[in-house]
Chain A
Amino acid sequence: MSGLSGNARAERRVRLAAAMADEGIDILVVAGNPWRCDYLRFAADVTPVEGHAFAFIDREGPARIITEHPAEARRLRSEQAELDVRWSLSAIEETETAIRELGKRRIALAPRAAVPYRLAMGPLAASIAPATALLDRLMLRKSPSEIEAFRRAAVLADEGYAVFRDAARVGRPEYALVAEVEAFFRSRGCPENFQILGSGGREVRGMHPPTERRLAPGDLVTTELTPCVDGYYAQICRTLVLGEPSNTQERAFAVYNEALEAGIAAVRPGAKARDVARAQNEVFRDHGLGAYVTSEYTRVRGHGLGLYVDGQPAVLEDVDLNLEPDMTLVVHPNTYHPEVGYFVHGDSVRVIPDGCEVLTRTPRRLFSVPLG
């Protein structure tokens, strides 16, 4: 069941209905699945656990949902009594039929990432991209209730990292750390979290799902935690050392911390995503580590956060998207360091009229976990 109040859900629907009216759309068909449920969540406050789900958003009426599983249909009816929910073993075909039955009403289909081929090849093919862009615009800048959910997710991320630190002990397998964090998030009513980690030394080139590797003295242990509150994700990235940090590890941390501070300082309305990336990358270049901010060693210098864990904008030096107030993102100069291995360091932030509000409260430190 959603923690969003009926008012917040209604607020999103009002914004969506206004945007649909501006674009002359009568019915917006939104596709989703457990991998890409962000647009569906925004439009209908629906989060599929299994299979495809399709929402028919009528500008002036209640939403209709088609799911692939009877248990999902029962669940969604239970969560929102006002929804008209059907299920079909052939949910895609059923959706296609339902679209055709809408006749000459002006229909649009989104998002491109989740629309199945069969629907995309149909009469709505031409409308897919514009409807996706419409939703993207609405989802980029958060409303007060969305910001509030993001803020609570950021608090939960801080608390989750404290649990992670406590769980990180020599001899424990990586997956045990994740078990402790997930149990904590569940105890706080949080059903989703994106988490990857890494442990070891110079040989570690990135993060991944937890393995059976057991933590060893001197390991750098990296993680990004991304809990979800009312559908909204916030992220924290931190690195800890098992034992006393070496001078090399401390020196490396100083570079990443300088880069994070530079990136956050660049976040303000009117700046572009590329400015935030460049501010971070320049720090690495200044320290002779320019080779390590390329795609060979890293992916992005941060990304948007919201109803999806890896949203727009990608913080890269070739991304021109303008930052605007109430956009939410994580700034993280995560990359490989040739002397210590993969290193992560990142905070969740909100763009505000005069700059940037940092929502992550965990100190920017290279944490040390005592041995024994």
Chain B
Amino acid sequence: MRRGLISWSRDEVPPSVLEGRVARLQEQMRAAELGVVLIYTSFARPSAVAWLTHFVPYWNEALLVVFPTGAPVLLAAFSKRVHDWIRSVSHLGEVRSAPDLGRAAAAFLKERPPEPWRIGVLELDALPWPVAEPIMKSEYGGAVVDATGLFASIRQPADEVEIRLARRAATIAVQAFKAIPTAAKSASELLSVLERSARLDGAEEVLPRLAPDLRADATLRRLEGDALLGERYAVELSVAYKATWVRITRCVSTQAVPPSWHGAADRFVETVERLNEANLSLEPQVGSGKTLAWTLETCRGSPPLSIVATGETPSPSALPGGSLACVSLQLDLDDGPWLGGEPLILGSGRQPSRLLI
């Protein structure tokens, strides 16, 4: 559940930008002859609705209804008392109370029948069954089609507003890394400092994963309880600022930074620069050390970050130049593992990718 600052600054995200995004979706809907698109949102899958409206659910669920014209309508399973708050943090045409989302959606479609008679649903396969069932069993069930590809086609590249938010999120993460006490001995001490720094800087959410002793195990873990920090450890911070997520990974040494890490960092930058829309693979690579794992992620649906390409699957999906993405890399160096991760703007044509900060 989101625990940090949730607010909407019209200066950071002007209403016209949100309206422009909705207009792009509506244009594609008309081209695809869709009379309405339904987009589910929850704590786990907030990003599509947030990108269109700036609404982020701190808990509970909602369904955004977008018609080919006009402002989106939010069917919200939240208490009616929260509607004023919802309106204060988002740009919506109407907010309706919908304790039973699926039934409310079916009733709403009956009230405002889609024209044309085709209903797109973002990530239809993943729609929770209690939401899907009343829609699919209604007279509209036969008209439902998946709209995942349609939405993805307009989601990237990122606009300047989103890039600015991502840069702020990345800066929050970097400041949190800088706050790590050199004498930190335990995971709990470390995570407490990271959490405090990020949230005081205005993070909407921060999800840390930690490899507490890199020499023993490089797996990034979600810690419950505590663990002692080794001489070398790695931290991955996934930070959200105003619904825009970035993921940054850093290795920390309590002693002098190993020379091999400088080489790894250089190699990371070279690798990033080689990425562009025509080459979404981090392999083959040059330099010392073996690549153990890598991922390239972006936001193009309701999850904050989804995999575009990874060393563990052969074929990447397409991503246009100018997309906001995050790359994570794990190297096996002679003196142990090294992990790095940064957000970037994907290059296009002959333009190399560039790190966000």
Contacts and interface: CB of A to CB of B under 8 A. Distances in A.
Interface of A: 1-3, 33-36, 47, 49-52, 69-71, 74-75, 77-79, 87, 89, 92-93, 112-121, 128, 173, 175-176, 178-180, 182-184, 186-196, 205-206, 208-212, 230-231, 295-299, 309-310, 336
Interface string B200-232: 101000010100000001011111111100000
B295 interface: yes
A92 B1 CA distance: 23
Interface stretch (B263-271, B273-281, B305-313): B305-313
Nearest to A300: B79
A120 B61 CA distance: 19
Given A49-B222, A205-B84, A295-B80, A34 B209 contact: no
Contact of B225 (A1, A176, A192): A1
Nearest to A184: B192
Greatest chain B CB density within 10 A among A69, A113, A182, A206 is at A182
Given A34-B44, A75-B209, A180 B188 contact: no
B199 A309 contact: no
Contacts of A189: 187-188, 223-226
14 contacts: A36-B44, A49-B209, A49-B222, A75-B219, A75-B220, A75-B222, A115-B129, A176-B200, A186-B192, A187-B192, A191-B224, A194-B59, A209-B2, A211-B7
B96 to A, nearest CB: 15
A209 B61 CA distance: 15
Q: Which 6 A-B pairs have the closest CB atoms?
A: A179-B199, A183-B196, A120-B129, A118-B125, A187-B192, A117-B132
Main secondary structure of the interface of A (DSSP, over half): loop
A116 B126 contact: yes
A35 B81 CA distance: 22
B161 interface: no
Contact of A33 (B44, B59, B132, B192): B44
A296 B80 contact: yes
Contact of B305 (A2, A34, A50, A295): A50
Given A117-B124, A309-B59, 13 more contacts: A1-B223, A52-B126, A74-B220, A116-B125, A116-B126, A175-B202, A186-B196, A192-B1, A205-B81, A205-B84, A208-B82, A208-B85, A209-B2
Contact of A178 (B3, B42, B61, B187): B3
A351 to B, nearest CB: 25
A35 B42 contact: yes
A51 B303 contact: yes
A351 B125 CA distance: 40
A187 B188 contact: yes
B339 to A, nearest CB: 10
B128 A117 contact: yes
A50 B129 contact: no
A115 to B, nearest CB: 5
Contact of B191 (A186, A210, A298): A186
Nearest to B219: A78
A179 B207 CA distance: 14
Interface in B77-134: 79-82, 84-85, 124-130, 132-133
Given A50-B305, A187-B188, A74 B219 contact: yes
A344 B46 CA distance: 28
Interface in B6-63: 6-7, 42-45, 58-59, 61
B332 interface: no
A30 B354 CA distance: 41
A175 B221 contact: no
A98 B209 CA distance: 29
Contacts of A205: 81, 84
Nearest to B303: A51
Interface of B: 1-7, 42-45, 58-59, 61, 79-82, 84-85, 124-130, 132-133, 136, 187-189, 191-196, 199-200, 202, 207, 209, 217, 219-227, 293, 295, 303-305, 307, 310, 312-313, 328
Nearest to B124: A117
Contact of A209 (B3, B80, B188, B223): B3
A74 B328 CA distance: 14
Given A70-B293, A186-B188, A206-B82, A212 B7 contact: yes
A341 B44 CA distance: 32
Greatest chain A CB density within 10 A among B85, B189, B224 is at B224
Nearest to B78: A299
A101 B217 CA distance: 34
A1 B43 CA distance: 22
A89 to B, nearest CB: 6
Given A186-B188, A189-B188, A209-B2, A75 B200 contact: no
A206 B81 contact: yes
A99 to B, nearest CB: 14
A137 B4 CA distance: 34
Nearest to A73: B312
A74 B202 CA distance: 30
Contacts of B194: 186
A240 B64 CA distance: 37
A296 B207 CA distance: 35
Given A115-B129, A120-B133, A209-B5, A179 B196 contact: yes
A248 to B, nearest CB: 22
Greatest chain A CB density within 10 A among B1, B2, B221, B226 is at B1
A108 B36 CA distance: 34
A128 B129 contact: yes
Given A89-B313, A188-B188, A179 B7 contact: no
Greatest chain A CB density within 10 A among B5, B194, B221, B293 is at B5
Contacts of A74: 219-220, 293
A89 B220 CA distance: 19
B81 A117 contact: no
A120 B82 contact: no
